Amino acid sequence: KHPKSPHPDIFRVSNDETEGCVGVGRTGWHIDGTFQTRPFKYQTMHFHSVCEGGETWFVPLKEFYEMQDEETRDRWDRYWMVTREGLAHPLVYRHPVREDTSMMFHCGPPFCAAWAVDDDAERSSERKVSGRMIAPHVVQDELTRRLDEAVDRIGIKMSWEEGDFAINDNLGNCHYASKGTQNPKKKAGLRILHRTTIAGEDVPAKFDGRSSKYLDLR
């Protein structure tokens, strides 16, 4: 937390380290809270001050998944994102509120230790993690490339105004802080974002009933 945050539950973000935490959201496309068994349900964003070029990019995950070809969807259905703590989330899972398809990932290098892969059992409900692991960057790079293409087709590059307040479905939309969010204050103006997160209530679960779990990475 930053010392200028007005409350312990408010994450103060800025392009000036004396005003807030810098570089936030810049490591890659993500949803918040993948390090938890129950990732955050919603997040709020309140912009007290904005800088030129400080866009936040959003892509809806149901539509992103559905726009992929069948081979890609089938492959992604077998992937699990493994965190540094050994927590494995299904890349593709059922949104706990809408009950349609969503995705769970973080493309920032520090947040993913590996991608686990299901075995080849015919029935998806009987599949188990095979022991085969994919290096983090392989899937992260693929997701990043496809999301960078998708944002202009199905997403939004949100240009904020001072006083804007947003509530985001963290489990239904991934987001990314554009490069401009860290533009120098002297040239682009001061950026101050107050962000909060609403605790998650559900462990991510696939349509076949399998859910997030801890793996032994030894």
pLDDT for 217: 65
pLDDT for 194: 98
In Å, how far are 41, 45, 119, 162, 177 from 114, measured between CA atoms? 24, 30, 16, 39, 23
CA dist 162 and 179 (Å) reads: 19
Residue type, 136: P
Selection from 84, 64, 82 nearest residue 73 by Cα: 64
Selection from 5, 7, 33 nearest residue 19 by Cα: 5
Residue the block writes with tokens 């059992």 = 121
pLDDT for 218: 63
What's the pTM value of the predicted model, to 2 decimals?
A: 0.95
Output Rg (C-alpha) for the chain, integer angstroms: 18
Residue type, 90: P
pLDDT for 132: 87
Q: Which parts of the chain have pLDDT scores under 70?
A: 217-218
pLDDT for 76: 98
Instruction: Report pLDDT digits (tens) over 2-36.
Output: 999 999 999 999 999 999 999 999 999 999 999 99
